[in-house]
Amino acid sequence: MSAPYENPEMLRMFKTYSDTKAPGRDSIADHLAVASLEEHRGDALIVVTGTDIAIYPGNGAPPELQGLRVNIPGFTELTAVSHFGPALGSIVALKERGLESWRGHARTLLEDARRVRAANSAALWSERIAVGVLVGREGAIAAMTDYACAISERYLERSLEDPEYMTPQSLRDDYLAGTGQAELPVPCNRIMIATFSLVALELGHRLIEWVDRLGLDWSRVLFAVAGRQGRPTGGTTKKTTSLARIINIVSRGQLDESRVFIAPHLPVFAHPSGGDLQEVIDLEEPVRWQLARVMSSVELAPIMFEGIPAFVQEPLYGDDLPDDATTATDMPRIRSADDWPSMLTRLRLSLEDPRQLLASGVTDYIVQQLVDADNDPSRVTIPGLDGEPYPGLPSAPR
């Protein structure tokens, strides 16, 4: 098949304004983007990938890097506990589909729960896992972990003995949400909220300490979420990624939202091995260039269209959840540590809304508490942990 005809004179004029393939950046649009690039070269640039956060101070200064989802103390252990809920829900879903594989998965999870329960102790959390922000809460976390294992074992054992018992209704009534029965003083939904909150506490504390030390001029910061974040459909707008909310909170509301870019097609660096930041360093110029191309277009609009209705940023949160709500479109703001309707709605949205990130339920709420408490983790209320009636750990061997 032959290529379509292109008039050479028209093609030349087309490329005069915009020719993204030209190596010399000689088009009119390129020159405007270069001007934007140079204007913002000294601005701090924060780039978040699927695994890390990099901060480029500007003017060629070397970047700093911290893990976002890797090498985070306590992340694996706390997330393992939070996985009880979706793991059991998935086993129920398999059984509902008539798939016999549910039995094998149930037995495996049951054995895992028993092993974790045997290994769990306050000393494990304080001496081995040893997460600084959790100091003073290790006993409560150990009690929560023991309880989470115990109620999971109970549900799995009964379901394996009586498969007719395992239904979506029993999962909700006897495990996830509870109906007030004495044998379920804390429903598993609250355990999921608690574990997510504890992970957020570590991440938020470290992030606030880091950026405060750098003394960033937030009015000039460029912030980009680059590449894939979690599932392929999630976190592609400012409203559907908790990262935009988190950085806005960490900046104490000083970050200009027009300088926040959700850019799944930006190039990303791999998580550095052995502390080698060369790939991170090399990526700064390509990222700044791509952002400059976007910003130069944005900055052109008021010059061309003064008096025409202007674009306004969407709010980072959805509407507050009414008391009689039956549906929600976006993440509602969490109003307090006992605002269970909003927190549980967020859990459901994180699963049901493909736009959302699975781990975005409570992180921004915990980070806001940290900011309000001058980054003192001991002054933060952890919903689902603090004040909950978890039974103490058994003193005798099982």
Phi, psi of 6 (to 5 degrees): -130, 125
Q: Which amino acid is at 338?
A: D
299, containing H or E segment: helix 278-304
% of the chain surpassing 90 pLDDT: 79
Q: Quote the CA–CA distance of 290 and 126 in Å, as a whole number.
A: 45
pLDDT digits (tens, 9 = 90+) for 106-129: 999 999 999 999 999 999 999 999
pLDDT digits (tens, 9 = 90+) for 277-304: 999 999 999 999 999 999 999 999 999 9
Contact 299, 288 (CB under 8 A): no
Kindly tell me the sign of the dihedral angle through the C-alpha atoms of 331, 333, 78, 74: positive
**In the structure encoding, which two tokens stand for residue 235, read together?**
């976190």
Mean pLDDT in residue range 171-175: 95
Q: Which of 52-66, 126-140, 226-240 has the lowest mean pLDDT?
A: 226-240
Q: Quote the CA–CA distance of 227 and 241 in Å, as a whole number.
A: 13
Helix, strand, coil: what percent of the chain each, to 5? 50, 5, 40
Higher pLDDT, 242 or 56: 56
Class of domain 31-70+208-271+278-295: alpha beta
**Nearby residues of 2 by Cβ (< 8 Å), 6 or more positions away:** none
Model confidence at 314, in pLDDT bands (50, 70, 90)?
Answer: confident
**Is residue 394 scored above 80 in pLDDT?**
no
E strand segments, the chain: 45-48, 52-56, 64-67, 222-226, 260-263
Model confidence at 332, in pLDDT bands (50, 70, 90)?
Answer: very high
Q: Which amino acid is at 266?
A: L
Question: Residue ranges per domain, the chain?
Answer: 31-70+208-271+278-295
Model confidence at 326, in pLDDT bands (50, 70, 90)?
Answer: very high
**Nearby residues of 55 by Cβ (< 8 Å), 6 or more positions away:** 44, 45, 46, 63, 64, 65, 210, 211, 214, 216
% of the chain surpassing 70 pLDDT: 97
Mean pLDDT in residue range 348-363: 87
DSSP letter string, 187-254? -HHHHHHHHHHHHHHHHHHHHHHHHHHHT--GGG-EEEEES--SSTTSS-SGGG-HHHHHHHHHTTT-
Give pTM, 2 decimals: 0.91
Mean pLDDT in residue range 85-97: 97
**Burial degree of 23 (CB within 10 A; 0-12, 13-18, 19+):** exposed
E strand segments, 51-203: 52-56, 64-67
Q: What does the mean pLDDT of the chain come to?
A: 92
Query: Is residue 260 classed as helix, strand or coil in its secondary structure?
Result: strand
**Is residue 226 scored above 80 in pLDDT?**
yes
Q: Quote the CA–CA distance of 268 and 228 in Å, as a whole number.
A: 9
Task: Provide the CB-side half-sphere exposure for 12 (13 A, CA).
Answer: 3
pLDDT at 121: 97
Model confidence at 398, in pLDDT bands (50, 70, 90)?
Answer: very low
**Nearby residues of 252 by Cβ (< 8 Å), 6 or more positions away:** 218, 371
Model confidence at 397, in pLDDT bands (50, 70, 90)?
Answer: very low
pLDDT digits (tens, 9 = 90+) for 230-275: 888 888 888 888 899 999 999 999 999 999 999 999 999 998 888 8
Give all strands of the β-sheet with 45-48 in edge-to-edge order. 64-67, 52-56, 45-48, 222-226, 260-263
Mean pLDDT in residue range 66-88: 89
Mean pLDDT in residue range 197-203: 95
Q: Quote the CA–CA distance of 148 and 361 in Å, as a whole number.
A: 19
DSSP letter string, 277-288? -HHHHHHHHHHH
- Comparing CA positions, the residue from 180, 200, 193, 228 lying closest to residue 82 is 193
**Is residue 2 scored above 50 in pLDDT?**
yes
pLDDT at 392: 80
